[in-house]
Structure 1
Amino acid sequence: MSALAWIAVVSLACWLWLLLGQGFFWRTDQRLPARSAPVDWPYVAIVVPARDEAQVLPRSLPTLLAQDYPGEAEIFLVDDGSSDGTAELARALAAREECALPLTVVEPGEPEPGWTGKLWALRQGIALARAREPEYLLLTDADIAHEPDSLRELVAAARSNGLDLVSQMARLRVASGWERLVVPAFVYFFAQLYPFRWINAPGARTAAAAGGCVLLRTEAAERARIPESVRQAVIDDVSVARAVSRSGGRIWLGLAERVDSVRPYPRLADLWRMVARSAYAQLRHSPALLLGTVAGLALIYLAPPVALFAGMARHDAVAGWAGGLAWLVMAGTYVPMLRYYRQPLLLAPLLPFTALLYLLMTVDSAVQHYRGRGAAWKGRTYARPEATPDQ
């Protein structure tokens, strides 16, 4: 066989293994587990870190203020050095809305050295909340909108199943053309790296969470030293889940049905920044892992269409058939995610192009890291972890 045919056959073998051996990552059936209402509803503190969120807060904060929760709950919004009036807007929204839950807004100032901004804000909010002795902490981003029963369902799931951490991956906004092309693939790739079934299995070694919506038992947070133990993390959600899991906590992650992100990413540049700011951190800033990732993406996602068309042009039947079948399996595994996002299934064959974009974003993330501009977000650039002084 030709070299092209061998590459196509290996790619097809990879896809058959991904289809059957990677925790059925492509399925979208991991939703909140079976649950029943607890006899007593625990006190919950909702902590919302917010930096320059005036654009999205009017669509997200009222959904928290209006939570239909049978027990006692309180919201702590931590303004992380905003310059757009986020804190004042939050207070104004609470004053004019019919609030089921009380809101406290705090402004702790700039992070101390060795802390990322979001985790510094979470630290302040959690410290304030602990004075009320909550049984659970709901850590939710400022761009996340919750249906009225969201908190109730999260608590019921945690109590009914003995879970220390329950996280839902919020349904991201899909409105612009670039969002339709890139956003469902973002969740698809995340699930491929961290198969939800593996995470949710008792005694699982795989740990991850979605930072937009994390219900965390306070006792488990204290045992895992959250957030101090992960204070430098750029990918804070995965780090929190790993810390809780290592300390003996049981975690669960699934797709959300009634939790949505309202943050817009209308341009490719917006999505590019969102991915590139943390892609190289995901690879632990390792050049070897970067090279392996680029090679893996090329073999798994780019080789099938190249082999199909090149095989047809060269009359290489093995390359053409193997490339075509690999592309077909690839597109088939993407269909459930497109359905979850209510997007046209015609986008499925475009996954190789989307993967190429992610490959370029990952390389750009590494380039920015070595230029000293890695992990830049909302006016802050965080130091490399190895260069950050220990606390």
Structure 2
Amino acid sequence: MTVIAAASLLAWVWLLLGQGGFWRTDTRLPPRETPPHWPSVAIVVPARDEAEVLGLSLPSLLAQDYPGRAEIFLVDDGSTDGTATVARDLHTRFGGLPLTVTSPGEPPSGWTGKLWAVKHGIALARERTDADFLLLTDADIAHRPDSLRELAAAAESANLDMVSLMARLRVETGWERLIVPAFVYFFAQLYPFRWINRPRSRTAAAAGGCVLLRSSAATAADVPDSIRQSVIDDVALARAVRRSGGRIWLGLADRVDSVRPYPDLAELWRMVSRSAYAQLRHNPAVLAGTVLGLALIYLVPPVAAVGGAVAGAWPLCALGAAAWLVMAGTYLPMLRYYGQPLLLAPTLPYTAALYLLMTVDSAVQHYRGRGAAWKGRTYARPDASAQE
């Protein structure tokens, strides 16, 4: 056990120093200047059963203070709750940017619903506009009035083909405080922002809630067609753009917020488990390695610290406590970013254990035929879909 605790501590030293500073939260929009000509932007919003949150998100898009031309295309993806009607009513009430509400019908075999809606929205935008950029943003994302202006200025100033912001998720309930900051922390650990933002890096990821994509880069990457089966579409999008030679950037948001509530553990559990096994490429061996890795990195330190103290095995206790301390220290910046009590930092092993169980549950649901389920749709593995 002492050897295992030592391995856990070494792993944390590596994560602290060698994993791209994933724990830092200062990766914000790059330096930007006012462009000589503001690019035109088509805002594409895929929406499926989003009537409940549109009243908080769509007015923020309609009210964008953008000096250039911008137009919104909201794509109703087979909603049954009156999403399209709510969107039109909001535009009538608030005015603002031009809004087109459309529906593509059910997605054909081999497409996820969101990407089919995005394809339809992009096609319609190209038919009606000559937009230089596409802003792909989810229906539960609210933007500050200067959000689009700052995104466009950053893309133009740094000559970026894709600028993506990790929206600040809602943190109000007890479960949200426990789960949500850790969700972003784990994402950054898996995809360190600084690595993503290096021009020649092999690491690529995005945050699907807010992606400003140059139209020419979308054409070069053949998106969304080239990623039409992807359940984790934001990471797939970033990889496609990078493979085609595009320059990508990802950071934390100051002007973009998610308004979707996750009031209880069940909702948060579904959010994570619906795509966790897809992230592991539906590979049992990768799942086993992930479970062992999570246990070594997150569960061994508190077990060693407490167990060593109880048993009087002080070297074991010291190794576990040191690893736990480093772990908690790396979590502090994320808690500050979300405005949460720093006393939550030592609870990260407990949250990690929940994520471990969510990941295992995702695999179980997949093999029961209920994997990657979202709002009434269930998606098989891409290779399985291709054979249908």
**How far apart in 2 are the matches of 1:268 and 1:314?**
34
Match of 1:49 among 46, 51, 57: 46
**How far apart in 1 are the matches of 2:335 and 2:315?**
30
Structure 2 counterpart of 1:11, one-letter code: S
State the shift of 1:314 in Å. Answer: 1.5
In the alignment, which residue of structure 1 is the partner of 2:143? 146
Q: Is the 8 A contact 1:209 1:238 kept in 2?
A: yes
In the alignment, which residue of structure 2 is the partner of 1:346? 343
Q: CA RMSD in A?
A: 0.8
Q: Tell whether 2:218 aligns with 1:249.
A: no
Structure 2 counterpart of 1:81, one-letter code: G
**2:12 aligns to what SS in structure 1?**
helix
Match of 1:162 among 159, 162, 175: 159
**How far apart in 2 are the matches of 1:9 and 1:273?**
34
**How far apart in 1 are the matches of 2:51 and 2:385?**
31
Match of 1:105 among 101, 119, 143: 101
Structure 1 counterpart of 2:183, one-letter code: F
**How far apart in 1 are the matches of 2:81 and 2:95?**
24
Equivalences, count: 387
Structure 2 counterpart of 1:13, one-letter code: L
Match of 1:187 among 181, 184, 194: 184
Q: Is the 8 A contact 1:137 1:216 kept in 2?
A: yes
In the alignment, which residue of structure 2 is the partner of 1:367? 364
Give the TM-score of the pair, scaled to structure 2: 0.99
Q: Tell whether 2:12 aligns with 1:37.
A: no
In the alignment, which residue of structure 1 is the partner of 2:118? 122
State the shift of 1:98 in Å. Answer: 3.3
Structure 1 counterpart of 2:212, one-letter code: L
Q: Is the 8 A contact 1:173 1:262 kept in 2?
A: yes
Structure 2 counterpart of 1:84, one-letter code: D
In the alignment, which residue of structure 1 is the partner of 2:306? 309
Alpha-carbon displacement from aligned partner over 1:58-115 (angstroms, at most 9, x marks no partner): 000000000000000000000000000000000000001031x100000111001100
Identity in percent = 73
Alpha-carbon displacement from aligned partner over 1:1-54 (angstroms, at most 9, x marks no partner): xxx111111000000000000000000000000000101111100000000001
Q: Is the 8 A contact 1:60 1:143 kept in 2?
A: yes
What are the residue-to-residue correspondences of 1:329-344 with 2, within 5 Å?
Answer: 329-344=326-341
**How far apart in 2 are the matches of 1:215 and 1:115?**
22
Structure 2 counterpart of 1:325, one-letter code: A
Match of 1:220 among 217, 221, 227: 217
In the alignment, which residue of structure 1 is the partner of 2:271? 274
State the shift of 1:389 in Å. Answer: 2.3
Structure 2 counterpart of 1:292, one-letter code: G
Match of 1:378 among 357, 362, 375: 375
In the alignment, which residue of structure 2 is the partner of 1:284? 281
Structure 2 counterpart of 1:212, one-letter code: G
State the shift of 1:315 in Å. Answer: 1.4
**How far apart in 2 are the matches of 1:243 and 1:389?**
19
State the shift of 1:390 in Å. Answer: 6.7
Q: Is the 8 A contact 1:5 1:316 kept in 2?
A: no
**How far apart in 2 are the matches of 1:11 and 1:291?**
17
Q: Tell whether 2:85 aligns with 1:82.
A: no
**How far apart in 2 are the matches of 1:185 and 1:145?**
21
In the alignment, which residue of structure 2 is the partner of 1:211? 208
In the alignment, which residue of structure 2 is the partner of 1:68? 65
**How far apart in 2 are the matches of 1:41 and 1:296?**
47
**How far apart in 2 are the matches of 1:138 and 1:298?**
39
State the shift of 1:386 in Å. Answer: 1.4
Q: Is the 8 A contact 1:49 1:118 kept in 2?
A: yes
Structure 2 counterpart of 1:119, one-letter code: L
In the alignment, which residue of structure 1 is the partner of 2:322? 325
In the alignment, which residue of structure 2 is the partner of 1:12? 9
**How far apart in 2 are the matches of 1:108 and 1:231?**
15
Segments of 5+ residues of structure 2 without an aligned counterpart are: none
In the alignment, which residue of structure 2 is the partner of 1:27? 24
Structure 1 counterpart of 2:45, one-letter code: V
Mean alpha-carbon deviation: is it higher for 13-22 or for 378-387? Answer: 378-387
Give the TM-score of the pair, scaled to structure 1: 0.98
**2:310 aligns to what SS in structure 1?**
helix
**2:386 aligns to what SS in structure 1?**
coil
Q: Is the 8 A contact 1:65 1:94 kept in 2?
A: yes
Give runs of ≥4 in structure 1 deviating > 6 Å: none
**2:201 aligns to what SS in structure 1?**
coil
Structure 2 counterpart of 1:223, one-letter code: A
Segments of 5+ residues of structure 1 without an aligned counterpart are: none
State the shift of 1:185 in Å. Answer: 0.1
Match of 1:231 among 223, 228, 231: 228
**How far apart in 2 are the matches of 1:232 and 1:385?**
6
